[in-house]
Structure 1
Amino acid sequence: MKPYSQAAHIRGLGSPHDGPDELPNLLCLCPNHHVLFDGLEIYIDVDDVVRRTHEGDSLGRLRRHADHRIDESYLQYHRTLCELSRLTKK
């Protein structure tokens, strides 16, 4: 089987998130991590460590490509959603 990846919007498109469909708002993820990211089960912390929302454990570091600038404000927005999810599921 060949490797397969998907473009995941960091700040979701449409209401209520109203994120833009632009490269700084995209991550390249495998399908499984895409589902976990959209479901607020994983997030990227301020040190580029991918973490589980509820357990807090690390899944590894985000690998970045030098030519792909990710807007930190979108990652912060996603982290906020994950924190709210974590607080409501206690």
Structure 2
Amino acid sequence: MAHIQGIGKPHEGPDKLSNLLCLCPNHHVQFDRLFLFIDEDWNVRRSSDRELIRTLTRHPEHVIDEECVEYHRGLCGRSRYSLGSG
């Protein structure tokens, strides 16, 4: 399981199910290192050039905290609130 918004300093994300994603070990590392982000349409994209990797597969009973996703997207420079997001 990967935390979307890190739970330690400096991120202080919530330690709850809605802040977690099930990822394979390789994608977990890439997500943690900000090589991947989830866009507004739930597509997984490469941070460097926004290339589409795939659409995130979501279970209907797993509610994902969109604020945590937006926080992670901002760390990748891809938030609608980030300067220079593209």
TM-score by length of structure 2 reads 0.88
TM-score by length of structure 1 reads 0.84
Letter in 2 for 1:13: I
Query: Which entry has the higher C-alpha Rg, 1 or 2?
Result: 1
1:76 — aligned with what? 70
Confirm whether residue 26 of structure 1 aligns to residue 24 of structure 2: no
Q: For 1:62 and 1:31, locate their aligned partners in 2 and report how far apart those are by CA, in whole Å.
A: 16
Q: For 1:81 and 1:67, locate their aligned partners in 2 and report how far apart those are by CA, in whole Å.
A: 27
Q: For 1:55 and 1:76, locate their aligned partners in 2 and report how far apart those are by CA, in whole Å.
A: 18
Q: What is the RMSD computed on CA atoms of the aligned residues?
A: 1.3
Q: Report percent identity of matched pairs.
A: 56
Runs of 5+ consecutive residues of structure 2 not aligned to the other structure = none
Matched pairs, number:
79
Q: Which has the higher helix share?
A: 1
Matched residue of 1:79: which SS? helix
Q: For 1:24 and 1:41, locate their aligned partners in 2 and report how far apart those are by CA, in whole Å.
A: 21
